Amino acid sequence: MQPWMLWLAIILVMVVAEVMTVGFFAITLAVGGIFALITSLITNSIWIQVAIFLISSIAFFFLLKPFIEKLFPTIGPAKTASDRLVGEKGIVIVEINNTQGTGQVKIFGEIWSASSYDDRIITKDTEVEVLSIKGVKTIVKEIS
């Protein structure tokens, strides 16, 4: 197998990986593969080809990074699935009674087990706000 064929295969695999993940990392390896493929047409030294691949991939990554950060800014740490519920409003669908261990709320169309933060009973169809998540339960308070 010719070295250029290997680089072409790497380029194709990285382009497919980029399309599937859209993480902007695989594309940097594809660009490195392009430079390595061009180098393989000039020299047969695999070490030079690998060095060109690594250098160009790393360089392209650092050149691409500022553009990606401008296109997709992040504000603060990313929230997990349950963290995104804190501060949101929901509707009680099963009466919340901490003593009996009952209670469910519907938030964003999802049903969550719920407890009242102050041990008050919260009746069905009451609007509540999520204060925190403890395990798999939302801790809520009634909205006046």
Kindly state the average pLDDT of the residues 55-62: 96
Q: Could you state, in order of their start, the residue ranges of all structural domains in the chain?
A: 3-71, 83-142
Per-residue pLDDT, 75: 63
pLDDT at 71: 81
Class of domain 83-142: mainly beta
Q: How far lies 3's CA from each of 11, 13, 53, in Å?
A: 12, 16, 13
3-state helix, strand, coil in the chain (%, to 5): 45, 25, 30
Tell me how far apart the alpha carbons of residues 130 and 86 are, in angstroms, rounded to a whole number.
Answer: 5
Letter for the amino acid at 20?
A: M
Q: Is the dihedral of CA 31, 34, 36, 39 positive or negative?
A: negative
DSSP H stretches of helix in the chain:
3-21, 26-42, 46-71
Give the pLDDT confidence of 74-86 residue by residue, as tens digits: 666 655 666 788 8
Helix/strand/coil for 85: helix
- Token pair for residue 67? 């553009």
Q: How many CB atoms lie within 10 A of CB 132?
A: 15
**Residue 91 pLDDT more than 90?**
yes
- pLDDT exceeds 90 at position 123: yes
Taking the CA atoms of the chain, what radius of gyration do you get in angstroms?
27
User: Cβ(105)–Cβ(90) under 8 Å?
Assistant: yes
pLDDT over 90 (residue 21): no
